[in-house]
Chains A and B, each alone.
Chain A
Amino acid sequence: MAELGSFVLLLALALSAYSFLAGLVALIRKRPDSERLSETARRAGIASFGAVFVGAVVLVTSAFRNDFSISYILHHSNRDLPLPYKFATLWSGQEGSLLFWSLLLSGYGLVLRLRHKTDVRLFAHASVVIAAVQVFFLLLLNFAAKPFAVIQTTVPPDGNGLNPLLQYPEMVIHPPMLYLGYVGFTVPFAFALGALAMKYPGEKWIHITRRWTMVTWGFLTCGVFLGAHWAYSVLGWGGYWGWDPVENASLMPWLVGTAFLHSVMMQEKRGMLKTWNMWLVFGTFWLAILGTFLTRSGIISSVHAFAQSSIGDWFFWFLIVTLATFTFFFIKNRSHLRSEHKLESLISRESSFLFNNLLFVLACFTVLWGTWFPKISELAQGKKVTVGAAFYNKVTIPVALLLLLLTAVGPLLAWRKTSFESLRRNFLWPSLGALAVGIALVALGVKPWNDVSYFYALVAAMLAALVAFTVISEFIRGGRVISGHTGENLAASMVRLWHRNTRRYGGYIVHFGVALVFIGILGTPFNREAEKEMAFGDKLALGPYTLLCRSYTQEENANYGTDLAIIQIFKGDKQVDTLYPESRFYTASQQQQHVPAIRSTLKEDLYVVYEGQNQDTGRPIIKAHLNPMVSWIWIGLIVMVFGTILSLVPNAAPMRATVRDNSEARVPAHAAPVGAGD
């Protein structure tokens, strides 16, 4: 099996190298036979997917067959590992995850090459760029991080097992989502570089790229949030985002990618920000690779230590080469990227996009700055410092709140110029609603003058409400107009409204999801926790809950042994739940892991951790966290994904007005152009 795996990876490298070189020669050489050469390059690219796919199948099969002669399987699996985690072995370690990356990239390349008739020349350029990136990853797989390396000693009877932190159901879907996002940004980058290199006329490439970017952005959003959920459910410290460098690495391309998704509309509608968009596409791709570099190089300390290795140098040089290549083509062809329109007013959709982009990029810079500052400090003053969550919370919250404000305001501004009357009409009721939410929260006991974090929470709640109300009012307003023309009910009219411009109204739903996420986050300042050594019958009070320790027990299966605490949860005198926090000991890896138990409601999460036993007294320690509103973060994610899917649906055919010969327009009653534009 190992030989077959190694062979197909070598074959994939040869095919990708051919796809790159032949494709490049065909693009440079303008001879009649270039077209045929380009076609062979395309087919080689398609074939490379087959080779990488076989490689991935071989690795997964080896995990299922417990083939511990393969070093990777030995170190990341064991006989008693549950089957889903054996499948997840593919991305559980470095070599496997690089193979998985390569598989996804060749998969994206396959789709791109199969759709080449959309624009043969542009797709040929993009195909060459993708082949070049694929060559890099296959070089790594063949020479630096071999997934099919065979151990030289006697084959052990069992493997070392999977890292306990990774043995959680989300481990089966979180990394694929994240990788689909990371890898997917190669496609917009390939189109951008291709369009730049060939001085592509018009904005068609940006239409093609936008759809790819939205799909990729959706995957990355899922990946980032699932990572947060995984951290919350597994790490046991009661939080979901620790600003760890590897978490930051996933956030940075998401921020710049989100900026691009907004600013690309400026180029589509108004022919503006062409240079900026090029750099945003490149920046997103580059930051995705930088994230992998951070994860793999160990240059910055992280809790994701399981991913560290010596291939950081490869990524470093790849980053340099891609930067140099892109910069070269940008300098060479930048005259092609002139804006076509002027800006007419500060209060316009264009301005809001400019500020939106500023804030996204600034947020990315802040995260990047905080992530790298320990290294900068070490270089400048010879000593490292820690840049922890307190730093990020302090410097990113104001930016996040400004972004939330723009999320509410931006979509309701008109292109070119917005009148004050229009502003008043669109914002009066949403603003009053947001104000009412603020007053209600103060009346309920949120005292912003007591603590700056309460102040931020109150502002965030009001802004989230403003976003939600503006989205709802937009749907209702448009729905009413359509309903007035068609006689349909409001709900049906709103569905029709969405279908007329799926991107715009799908985007609004994404914004609504963002507001829900903020509602979830703003509960953080009100988190409470309590810890106690609890024997049988002991009680621990936290907020409205009383935890009663009923018993401790032990269980064992082939994969791990576990100490379980049985905690009854009371609210007043009524028992509302029983939680079973665990402390597991994994047999194969000889590692211990806490598994928190969570009682989740829309109002709050009760998060209980069995922290083990006090070394002095031998008594079990139970730690409980009361985290308000956390569920809304995950609900917000679902809404965001739903909105993204809705915005990918093709629009209904635009309605057309009929013009008479005498130039009098006769507009059919049902043809009100509601929902046009973005």
Chain B
Amino acid sequence: MLFSFVRRNFRDRRLHLIPTVLVGVLLLLGAGDDSARVDRIGHQLMCVCGCNQVLLECNHVGCSYSTRMRDELTAAVTRGDSDNNVLQWFIQTYGTTVLTVPTDHGFNRIAWIMPYLALVLGIGLVVFIVAVWKKRPLVVHASVPTAVRGVELDRFRDQARRETQL
């Protein structure tokens, strides 16, 4: 009797604990998520002290910016601001140089397009050059074949050595 009362009471208490544990777990999950977001966004931002380092990698001794900026980032993420809003806030506060890379819209898109465009154009150019050079006529002197000897033979041997693998 006593045993069953204790057991029932304990089970009830466990039942009462479930929402508390769930909230705790969710909070912990949320905390983990926030920390991942801070890490992700923090690697998209530069420290503006002039050390030219990513915000979360700034180890500049006595840096007067990075600690404050990290706190601002953590606060914004904890508030639940979206990634875009957080980044926009940093741009408005510290200027466009706060982003580690150019954005992919407007004029800045050129920064991203140009290397790939150069690659495509370059490959096209090389293929074109190969095609043109393949069609280039080779000057052939018409002559009666004769045995090659002496210096000329040495020259041919040298050329063969240079132009062959084996």
Which A residues are within 8 Å of any B CB, using their own CB?
235-239, 242, 244, 268-270, 301-303, 305, 339, 341-346, 351, 354-355, 358, 361-362, 365-366, 369-370, 373-374, 377, 380-381, 383-391, 394-396, 398-399, 414-416, 481, 583, 591-594, 609, 611-612, 615, 623, 654, 656-657, 659, 663, 673-674, 676-678
Contacts and interface: CB of A to CB of B under 8 A. Distances in A.
22 contacts: A301-B50, A342-B136, A354-B126, A358-B123, A358-B125, A358-B126, A366-B115, A381-B107, A383-B96, A384-B97, A385-B96, A387-B102, A390-B43, A391-B100, A396-B115, A399-B115, A414-B164, A481-B166, A609-B59, A657-B157, A673-B161, A676-B165
Interface of B: 43-44, 46, 50-54, 57-59, 61-62, 67, 95-103, 106-108, 111-112, 114-116, 118-119, 122-123, 125-126, 129-130, 133-134, 136-138, 147, 153, 157, 161-166
Given A380-B107, A385-B99, A387-B102, 20 more contacts: A235-B59, A237-B53, A238-B57, A268-B162, A343-B133, A358-B123, A369-B114, A377-B107, A377-B108, A381-B107, A385-B97, A387-B111, A388-B100, A415-B163, A592-B61, A592-B62, A623-B59, A676-B164, A676-B165, A677-B165
Contacts of B162: 268-269, 676-678
A269 B163 contact: yes
Nearest to A413: B165
A342 B166 CA distance: 22
Central interface residue in B44, B111, B161, by most chain A CB within 10 Å: B111
A303 B57 contact: no
Contacts, number: 155
Contacts of B115: 362, 365-366, 369, 395-396, 399
Contacts of B54: 388-389
Nearest to B108: A385
B68 to A, nearest CB: 11
A674 B166 contact: yes
A395 B67 contact: no
B47 to A, nearest CB: 11
Given A384-B96, A395-B115, A414-B164, A358 B52 contact: no
Nearest to A585: B61
A242 to B, nearest CB: 7
A386 B164 contact: no
Nearest to A366: B115
Given A399-B119, A612-B61, A386 B46 contact: yes
Given A237-B57, A354-B126, A623-B59, A385 B102 contact: yes
Contact of A594 (B59, B116, B161): B59
Given A358-B123, A676-B161, A676-B164, A386 B99 contact: yes
B163 to A, nearest CB: 5
Given A386-B98, A623-B59, A677-B163, A344 B126 contact: no
A163 B67 CA distance: 24
Nearest to A304: B52
Nearest to B54: A388
B111 A369 contact: yes
Nearest to B154: A656
Contacts of A415: 163-165
A380 B109 CA distance: 13
B164 A390 contact: no
Nearest to B166: A674
Nearest to A272: B133
A388 B50 CA distance: 13
Contacts of A677: 161-165
A381 B95 CA distance: 13
B119 A362 contact: yes
Contacts of B163: 269-270, 415-416, 677
B67 A615 contact: yes
Nearest to A676: B161
B97 A386 contact: yes
